Chain A
Amino acid sequence: MPKDTGIGASSKRREDVRFLTGNGRYTDDINIYGQTYVHFLRSDVAHGRITSIDTSAAESMPGVVRVFTGKDFEGIGGLPCGWLVTDKHGQPMKEPAHPVLAQGKVRHVGDPIAAVVAESLAEARDAAEAIMVDIEELPAVVDMKKALESGASKVHDDLADNLCFDWGFVEENREAVDNAIANSAHVTTLELVNNRLVANPMEPRVAVGEYNRSDDMSTLHTTSQNPHVIRLLMGAFVLGIPEHKLRVVAPDVGGGFGTKIFHYAEEAFCTFASRQVQRPVKWTSTRSEAFMSDAQGRDHVTKIELGLDADNNFTALRCLTYANMGAYLSTFASCTPTWLHGTLLAGNYKTPLIYTNVKAVFTNTVPVDAYRGAGRPEATFQIERVIDKAARELGVDPIKLRRQNFITEFPYATPVAVEYDTGDYVATMDKLEEIADIAGFAARRAESEKNGKLRGLGVNCYIEACGIAPSKLVGQLGARAGLYDAATVRVNATGSISVMVGAHSHGQGHETAFPQVVAEMLGIPEDQIDIVHGDTSKIPFGMGTYGSRSLAVCGSAMVRATEKIINKAKKIAAHLMEASEADIELKNGQFTVAGTDKSVAWGDVTLAAYVPHNYPLEDIEPGLEETAFYDPSNFTYPSGAYCCELELDPETGKVTIERFSAADDFGNIINPMIVSGQVHGGIAQGIGQALLENCAYDPETGQLLSASYMDYAMPRADDVPFYAVDHSCQTPCTHNPLGVKGCGEAGAIGSPPAVINAVLDALNSGGHKVEHINMPATPSRVWAAMQG
């Protein structure tokens, strides 16, 4: 019978009560006495030199408090990049300045040029229109390969060219890979694009900066996935405010998907300007601004080659990827196409030799950074597409080809520097074949064909590295921060508990799932436990939420802190019952002495900790509060197998997904309902990438063509089917105390190749010899592919 509380229970998401009744408190709900509003004047050209800015008319407009330009930020730091990538020649990546407001040049449509702080938003907007800016337009570089041609217009004048870095991994394997490919019985080659995406969280970004002269304290309220990271980056690198004088608060946040990890110019601006004008400064992004200022995702152009021997065993994999950085290096832009991508290129397969070359390129487009999956979807798409193409070329069953090459023994050290601790790829594929009813596909195809439709079935596997990340390892790889996390368990006198966690919940359901763990450990009701997150003044520390890390890393810190609580509580209980500490057991919220009928309740012990009249003060301190920091010893490796089944209308090229099945191995699971929801959302985003979403720039002018929902297609409810998801295959993680692996990104990683593989299966079943189709596979693209 399913549990109704604690680990494994599908406890209802308690945070949804406030979200669904309109009682969430988001950053835009924060309004502070004396608040001003900022409107940013943004570049409407992709590339140009600012020859003059005249703000005099704007300054005299009604309600204007102050107008800022790049000049006001001279001598102030730029936005930093958090990861140093070293290229294949041992040289550091190029790190051009990323000013808060443009200095001298604008480098993408939406680049902020000036900011008007006014009494009202309308007055700020009116005044911004009165700012006279002269821009000498320069040729825009949009296409990455053209950006690397000699003579191309340079995004950053002080760099030699538009190449940020040229990374080889594993460089020592390069020759061996070349030889293995040359000597393979069969080589499958595929060129593909991983399309650029706009994250589009439901809540656009907001920042409210506030300065208190009396204690010299700055507070930034912001839509962030990681308030401590923002405090670190903005305080130390941009504004020079020490940690104890800077508080960052991220209250309810309406979705992040990666794009709210990064430190943005608007956050630094509002904090800086609130000190300058001595009043709170608020910025609320419009949806249009989000399209041109939120970091975008993906945008890789790749050539991949898979070598196979005469028995169809994979011999080697060689990849060349051009990764778009956009105009500036966003916070984690450099690690996404490298360490979050190259290390995953083994996939689920025992390919002995792998080499990838990644050229990161500056272009006159919005910066690109991590987006749900970050590097891992790009790796998965390449591997799973090239395997499908190989199967078609060789005339073998694509599932059989995958099974034949599965890694089956764990731990497994890949040729790309990571070691998978556990997994069972055969089990998830078996489960997938069952829930997707692959055996019944032929009959369903026949039925579709009777109705004049083509039917396709696509399968893929995925592996991801989550639980980011072992600090020592990532430090060696160039990370400029540790990637541990922290939790404080504060037990109150009456036994209720507040857990202050470094992870930030913006849709993941931490407020429900985290208490389930503590409730299980202590044997007390979940509703006695609350989670506190999102405020640097309340939580001990935290690196935030991304990379499916919250439970695996921060949850582990919470477990460690709770273990400390239990140890101390046992000492108190032993004292109260005059027993030996070694004999104390904690079960169902009762402390007992083994072999006796003595017991004290959880609440008696916690009360004793705070009213220490009968208490071992000579041995332990009063109070019951413990903190733990947890640094993982390895990544976690969730994996799975996905299947998409769709119908294709050969007259229009329109694809309709009929069935979608996902068999995942997330290790142990705390709340199955939340896990299913995470997978559902991830698949919807993956289907969005595969069929609908396309962030497109004009190749000549760099104008954003898909700048609103009129042209950027988000998946709607009727674009996705009911999903069959299963997470009963569980190989627990071996190195964290919960045995959990993380589930937040799996759906978005595992679904795009299944969709495209299914589209190609449908086309080929209709006699259309199409080898590949780039995402999104829109009706017009599918139709064009059918025309040959």
Chain B
Amino acid sequence: MYAFEVERPTSIADAVAALGREDAQALGGGQTLIPTLKQRLASPSVLVSLTGIAEMQGIRTDDAGLLCIGGGSRHGVVAKEVAANYPGLAGLAAHIGDPAVRNRGTIGGSLANNDPSACYPAAALASKATIVTNTREIAADDFFQGMFTTALEEGEIITEVKFPVPQASCYIKFEQPASRFALVGVFVAKFADGVRVAVTGASNNGVFRWTEAEAALASNFSPSALEGLSASADDMIADLHGSAAYRAHLVGVLTKRAVAAAK
């Protein structure tokens, strides 16, 4: 770790101002950033902690019926508080990392980092969520732009995430044996006007929608609708833990299982 200063703003406005400093870096729960700093792979001059901002905490349902989760909400809080409202999302949050991770890591931090193996991007994309920042609202379909890349501008902060609540949903993760991140994770969300299937962990381009499966499930929301359908292995990640073909295969298996378990 290199030396750095820490700022702990209590309002979004102060945070935005602090992030204007040279080489400033926003700090959510630090579950990715702190290990990166410890390995001296990043050297920000100032860390701007977003965890003390009351405006970014809390979970509510807005007038349009959207589930609105503050950007600074920890995974453990989401797992507990949305269990009744949105069990698919709660189940996802409840299985990120371990208790220590869930008590530090935040939804805003996870989405902003857009790790190709993270769980939350699949939920946001499948739920057709809206990512709210200090300056604008971004549709999930526009937000994720490839591995570790998002639509966020320099210094832009995710203040809230708005989730339409599907009629039925489920996230199933097949864990990479060492890190227990998603080797492949599939989030299935069934809405009145269609089905969305988002896949994390598998692609070199980060989280993506499996549109063929969405089309098949739209008319028949059952595992049998996916018979004969297979995800393409073309852009899949190949590494120590699985070939591209294996990941593509898992996409099919997990989608079926998620459909079967969706509630």
Q: Which 9 A-B pairs have the closest CB atoms?
A: A713-B178, A780-B242, A713-B177, A710-B179, A780-B246, A651-B253, A711-B178, A705-B240, A692-B177
Residues from chain A with a CB closer than 8 A to the CB of B181 are 710
**B95 interface residue (CB < 8 Å to A):** no
Q: How many whole Å from B261's CB to the nearest CB in chain A? A: 14
Looking at the complex, which one of B1, B39, B177, B250 makes contact with A288 (CB distance below 8 Å)?
Answer: B39
Residues from chain A with a CB closer than 8 A to the CB of B1 are 122
A709-B179, A711-B240 given; 15 more Cβ-contact pairs under 8 Å: A288-B39, A652-B253, A709-B178, A710-B178, A711-B178, A711-B179, A712-B178, A713-B177, A714-B178, A779-B242, A780-B241, A780-B243, A780-B246, A783-B246, A784-B243
Residues from chain B with a CB closer than 8 A to the CB of A696 are 240
Residues from chain B with a CB closer than 8 A to the CB of A692 are 177-178
Q: Is the CB of B178 within 8 A of A706?
A: yes
Nearest A-chain residue to B246, judged by Cβ: A780
Distance in angstroms between the alpha carbons of A706 and B174 in the assembled complex = 20
User: Could you name 18 residue pairs across A and B whose Cβ atoms are closer than 8 Å?
Assistant: A122-B1, A122-B3, A125-B40, A288-B39, A692-B177, A696-B240, A706-B178, A711-B178, A711-B179, A712-B178, A713-B177, A778-B241, A778-B242, A779-B174, A779-B246, A780-B242, A780-B243, A784-B243
How does the 8 Å CB contact mask read for A276-301 relative to B, with 1 for contact and 0 for none?
00000000000010000000000000
Residues in A470-528 with C-beta less than 8 Å from chain B:
none
**B104 interface residue (CB < 8 Å to A):** no
A side interface size, CB within 8 A: 23
Given contacts A780-B241, A780-B243, contact A652 B250 (CB under 8 A): yes
**A331 interface residue (CB < 8 Å to B):** no
Distance in angstroms between the alpha carbons of A61 and B3 in the assembled complex = 16
**A694 interface residue (CB < 8 Å to B):** yes
Distance in angstroms between the alpha carbons of A709 and B40 in the assembled complex = 18
Residues from chain B with a CB closer than 8 A to the CB of A780 are 241-243, 246
Residues from chain A with a CB closer than 8 A to the CB of B249 are 783
Nearest A-chain residue to B242, judged by Cβ: A780
How does the 8 Å CB contact mask read for B237-263 relative to A, with 1 for contact and 0 for none?
000111100100110010000000000
Residues from chain A with a CB closer than 8 A to the CB of B3 are 122
Distance in angstroms between the alpha carbons of A692 and B241 in the assembled complex = 10
How does the 8 Å CB contact mask read for A687-731 relative to B, with 1 for contact and 0 for none?
000001010100000000110011111100000000000000000
Residues in A122-170 with C-beta less than 8 Å from chain B:
122, 125
Distance in angstroms between the alpha carbons of A692 and B179 in the assembled complex = 11
Distance in angstroms between the alpha carbons of A377 and B1 in the assembled complex = 40
Distance in angstroms between the alpha carbons of A784 and B244 in the assembled complex = 11
Q: Is the CB of A694 within 8 A of B240?
A: yes
Nearest A-chain residue to B98, judged by Cβ: A716
Residues from chain B with a CB closer than 8 A to the CB of A125 are 40
Distance in angstroms between the alpha carbons of A780 and B246 in the assembled complex = 6
Residues from chain B with a CB closer than 8 A to the CB of A694 are 240
Distance in angstroms between the alpha carbons of A784 and B247 in the assembled complex = 11
Q: Is the CB of B179 within 8 A of A778?
A: no
Distance in angstroms between the alpha carbons of A514 and B240 in the assembled complex = 45
Q: How many whole Å from B249's CB to the nearest CB in chain A? A: 7
Residues from chain B with a CB closer than 8 A to the CB of A652 are 174, 250, 253
Residues in B1-57 with C-beta less than 8 Å from chain A:
1, 3, 39-40
Residues from chain A with a CB closer than 8 A to the CB of B178 are 692, 706, 709-714
How does the 8 Å CB contact mask read for B69-83 relative to A, with 1 for contact and 0 for none?
000000000000000
Q: How many whole Å from B100's CB to the nearest CB in chain A? A: 14
Q: Is the CB of B179 within 8 A of A784?
A: no
Distance in angstroms between the alpha carbons of A714 and B179 in the assembled complex = 10
Nearest A-chain residue to B249, judged by Cβ: A783
Distance in angstroms between the alpha carbons of A417 and B172 in the assembled complex = 55
Nearest B-chain residue to A776, judged by Cβ: B177
Given contacts A694-B240, A705-B240, A711-B240, contact A779 B177 (CB under 8 A): yes
Nearest A-chain residue to B177, judged by Cβ: A713
Distance in angstroms between the alpha carbons of A543 and B177 in the assembled complex = 38
Q: How many whole Å from B224's CB to the nearest CB in chain A? A: 15
Residues from chain A with a CB closer than 8 A to the CB of B246 are 653, 779-780, 783-784
Distance in angstroms between the alpha carbons of A717 and B249 in the assembled complex = 28
How does the 8 Å CB contact mask read for A746-788 relative to B, with 1 for contact and 0 for none?
0000000000000000000000000000000011100110000
Residues from chain A with a CB closer than 8 A to the CB of B241 are 711, 778, 780
Q: How many whole Å from B31's CB to the nearest CB in chain A? A: 12
Q: How many whole Å from B116's CB to the nearest CB in chain A? A: 13
Q: How many whole Å from A451's CB to the nearest CB in chain B? A: 13
Residues in A651-681 with C-beta less than 8 Å from chain B:
651-654
Distance in angstroms between the alpha carbons of A122 and B179 in the assembled complex = 28
Distance in angstroms between the alpha carbons of A288 and B35 in the assembled complex = 12
Q: How many whole Å from B256's CB to the nearest CB in chain A? A: 9
Q: How many whole Å from B258's CB to the nearest CB in chain A? A: 13
Distance in angstroms between the alpha carbons of A694 and B178 in the assembled complex = 10
Residues from chain A with a CB closer than 8 A to the CB of B253 are 651-652
Distance in angstroms between the alpha carbons of A696 and B242 in the assembled complex = 14
Distance in angstroms between the alpha carbons of A709 and B177 in the assembled complex = 10
Which residue, of B3, B179, B181, has the highest number of chain A Cβ atoms within 10 A? B179
Q: How many whole Å from A684's CB to the nearest CB in chain B? A: 15
Distance in angstroms between the alpha carbons of A287 and B14 in the assembled complex = 37
Distance in angstroms between the alpha carbons of A652 and B250 in the assembled complex = 7
Q: How many whole Å from A649's CB to the nearest CB in chain B? A: 9
Residues from chain A with a CB closer than 8 A to the CB of B174 are 652, 654, 779
Q: Is the CB of A706 within 8 A of B177?
A: no
Q: How many whole Å from A62's CB to the nearest CB in chain B? A: 12
Residues from chain B with a CB closer than 8 A to the CB of A710 are 178-179, 181
Q: How many whole Å from A412's CB to the nearest CB in chain B? A: 41
Residues from chain B with a CB closer than 8 A to the CB of A713 are 177-178
